[in-house]
Amino acid sequence: MDNKTKKTVYLDYAATSPMYPEAAAEMYRMLKDEYGNPSAVYDSATHAREAINEARRTIAKTLNTEMDTIFFTSGGTESDNWALIGTAEAALRAGKGNHIVTSSIEHPAVLKTCRYLEQRGFRITYLPVDKEGFIDLAQLKRAIDSETVLVSIMAANNEIGTIEPIREAAELAHQKGSLFHTDAVQAYLHIPIDVKQDGIDMLSASGHKFGGPKGTGFLYIRRNLEIDSLIHGGSQERNHRAGTENTAGITAMAKAAAIAHSRMDEDERRISSLKSYMLGKLMRLPEIPELNGISIELNGTPDVIKRLPGNLNICFRGINGESILILLDMAGIAASAGSACSSGATDPSYVLTGIGLSKKDAESSVRFTLGRDTTEEDINYTLKHVEDILKRLKK
């Protein structure tokens, strides 16, 4: 079969999502027609400036906040770096404490920034998680001390989809006078978030996880909170984030955010039900005589309310996950082992070993992430191929 006729099934939405055509069209329009530098004074610049402000207003609405709390960045990684380093440096200057609390299953954008801050004299507590991937709030409470300037807990995990109790974590941070940041790259526009009700001081998001372009994102910083800048230079983003604005990327991201927000509830229901269907079918594979004796388990929480709608992370015990992925790829199915952001690494996923899996079980795991264009036909096609692959690899 040549590539034109080969069926392809994309089940790696947590790695990245296809752009909404409307967002791509908006990006092209901006690049073609509204190329003025938003900082200039002439007419075309004014259009670009207004488009950015409109984008800021659109994004702000999706989080129930004011537009002046949204700062555009180059993506989730920069937003996480900015929140952590900006808070740490502001605290250092003000002679405040030097302690940060986070979880051990954060994305490397947070974990490696914490390592960097450790080298600069900060003390970091990495909270362990239970076997479903949840932090323990009592443990968090004990970890926060008089030196703690920031608690950073992800809204949902990228590998196992566990949704952390961020509202409760924010409350504990505030009770002890600390700030609260959440990496919401996987959660934003997939589950409802209200920065005011949830008590969030800073929130990171990334455009390419909800149908916007790669290399776009933002950091929400609540009103009256000042953190240090990460990128120094011109006076863009009200002197907080220098660099000529990525106008086309920003407006396209906002277009995607508006669409994703308007269909979030419907997508959540549909995707979650497709996922349950797929999980049910996967769990019954060992009933097939040729697959008898094989063990298939769900990694992370079985609680559908506390798991991202599209996330399925499955351990095919005793069978190598990479081999499954390669054979899936040959059938045109895209999935991933561990986190796509760290693929190429030979170590087993620290998230999976962090929830108690052995190295071998972690290496036998595959992440399927469903999204807005996933159909029942895609799932049935995938199930058929998983069945054939397991029969082949079991031999």
Instruction: Please give the positions annotated as active site.
Output: 341
Q: Does 231 bind ligand PLP (CB under 6 A)?
A: no
Rounded distance between C-alpha atoms, residue 148 and residue 155, angstroms: 20
**Residue 157: which of 85, 198, 104, 236 has the closest Cα?**
104
Q: Are 208 and 80 in contact (CB under 8 A)?
A: no
Using CB under 6 A, pick the residue from 36, 76, 86, 211 that binds ligand PLP: 76
Using CB under 6 A, pick the residue from 62, 158, 162, 336 that binds ligand PLP: 158
What are the distances in angstroms from CA 139 to CA 143, 215, 352? 6, 36, 20
Q: Does 246 bind ligand PLP (CB under 6 A)?
A: no
Q: Any bridge partners for residue 156, and if so which?
A: 163
Using CB under 6 A, pick the residue from 341, 342, 356, 380 that binds ligand PLP: 341
Nearer to ligand PLP, 191 or 282 (CB): 191
Least distance to ligand PLP, CB of residue 391, Å: 33
Chain centroid to CA 332: 24
Q: Nearest 5 degrees, angle CA 135-CA 132-CA 296? A: 165
Stretch that binds ligand PLP, among 75-83, 127-135, 173-181, 304-312 (CB under 6 A): 75-83
Least distance to ligand PLP, CB of residue 97, Å: 25
Cβ-Cβ contacts under 8 Å for 18 (sequence gap 6 or more): 10, 211, 373
Stretch that binds ligand PLP, among 116-124, 178-186, 254-262, 357-365 (CB under 6 A): 178-186
Nearer to ligand PLP, 206 or 247 (CB): 206
Stretch that binds ligand PLP, among 73-81, 85-93, 132-140, 172-180 (CB under 6 A): 73-81
Supply 224's token pair. 């009256």
Rounded distance between C-alpha atoms, residue 263 and residue 266, angstroms: 5
Would you tell me which residues interact with ligand PLP (CB under 6 A)? Answer: 75-77, 80, 107, 109, 154, 158, 183, 185-186, 206, 217, 341
